[in-house]
Amino acid sequence: MSASTISRSTFDQVMVPNYAPQVMVPVRGKGSRVWDQEGKEYLDFAGGIAVNALGHCHPALVKALKKQSEQLWHLSNVYTNEPALELAGELIKHTFAEKIFFCNSGAEANEAAFKLARKYAYDNFGPEKHEIIAFHQAFHGRTLFTVSVGGQKKYREGFEPVPAGITHTTYNDLTALEEVISDRTCAVVIEPIQGEGGVIPATKEFMQGVRQLCDQHNALLVCDEVQSGMGRTGQLFAYMGLGVTPDIVASAKSLGGGFPIGAMLTTSNVAQSFGFGTHGTTYGGNPLACSVALEVLKIINDPQLLANVSTKHDRFRHHLEAINQRHGVFKEIRGKGLLIGAELTDEYQGQGKAFLAAAADEGLMMLVAGPNVLRFAPSLIIPDKDIDEGMARLEKAVAKVVSGH
């Protein structure tokens, strides 16, 4: 099989059918633009699902990857390496964390976080303190443990029996959390902004209340910042704008700017429960990934860049509100920074994918968060002219869907 014979139909022939990718096959990207096999250009408002935080083929990331690729690729964790230690030091310098664990994905970062939370409770309070509380509509990954902590039943069905000791309650409802938390709770797991669940931000009051309840019951606060972290909200991590300090943070997606890497950040006290041999990963912390992620962190953790994220949010919102005034398709526009959700009105419930397909026809790549919410997670440095042009394409797509409704 050669590149010249590959098409979307090849996917159906060779791949497990758990995805249904768009018809076009991208072959090249630069900045916030992507080109398919036919040479058609697309504006990218999807960012690889909040991954390509600095767009496609950012020259500084390409340079870091090329340089490291000629020095050292992989060692396993029988040895350490300079890029991993440098990246860990920078993460510690700029967050609450005192210790870092590297892995390859958000699911792995969350898996490590949940295992560590249980192990910490086991070591310090005994085996009875093992219950994890999470929230309805949450998403934490696709391993059996993370999909069980996630609050979407559809992702668990058919994989039972799933791990026990997990309770789900209502997001942004402190009273509901108070009713289920107890001294058996080892951790409360929360996304500062529910991503897959519909781009729903936690209120500052709720997050601070969660922190207080965790303290009262000797439970750890675990923040899943796989999607909301690394500048996505206009701060390096979303917890920083909510007036809370977590015990564990899971990071991935934008951390590598497109190169697979995950990280679990925690305190020295909690980290002690991951003693020698308790957890591991073959690829985690490899020099290639850490070299790229180090460059990503240096570029994103810039006050001007982070301030621009909030400005670009306002530009997105202005366009979405203007589109809505003309076409009346959105019930609510929400989110923070460059993680934005536009919920469809009752009339268009369940039709998210129709808008997605229409946008692709107009040369715009975007996302959904469930069937009823259009989701935008572009590059953090997307030029304003690309936002304006992409929104013009979105309006054409919306008009098509409306006229055919």
Instruction: Find the radius of gyration of the CA atoms of the chain.
Output: 21
Q: Are 193 and 201 in contact (CB under 8 A)?
A: yes
Choice among 224, 237, 259, 316 that is catalytic:
224
Q: Categorise residue 193: left if φ over 0, alpha if ψ from -120 to 50, beta otherwise.
A: beta
End-to-end CA gap in the chain: 41
Q: Are 127 and 309 in contact (CB under 8 A)?
A: no
Place of tokens 């935080």: 53
Q: How many other CB atoms are found less than 10 A from the CB of residue 329?
A: 22
CA–CA distance, 225 with 191 (Å, rounded to integer): 6
Would strands 200-201 and 364-365 be described as parallel, antiparallel, or unpaired?
Answer: unpaired
User: Does residue 353 have an active-site annotation?
Assistant: no
Q: How many other CB atoms are found less than 10 A from the CB of residue 278?
A: 10
> Tokens at residue 160, please?
């039972």
Q: Categorise residue 140: left if φ over 0, alpha if ψ from -120 to 50, beta otherwise.
A: alpha
Q: How many other CB atoms are found less than 10 A from the CB of residue 65?
A: 17
Candidates 246, 306, 256; CA nearest to 64 is 256
User: Does residue 253 have an active-site annotation?
Assistant: yes
Choice among 119, 129, 253, 312 that is catalytic:
253
Choice among 96, 101, 139, 330 that is catalytic:
139
Cα distances (angstroms) measured from residue 45 to each of 190, 374, 382: 25, 11, 9
CA–CA distance, 78 with 304 (Å, rounded to integer): 40
User: Does residue 224 have an active-site annotation?
Assistant: yes
Catalytic positions: 139, 224, 253
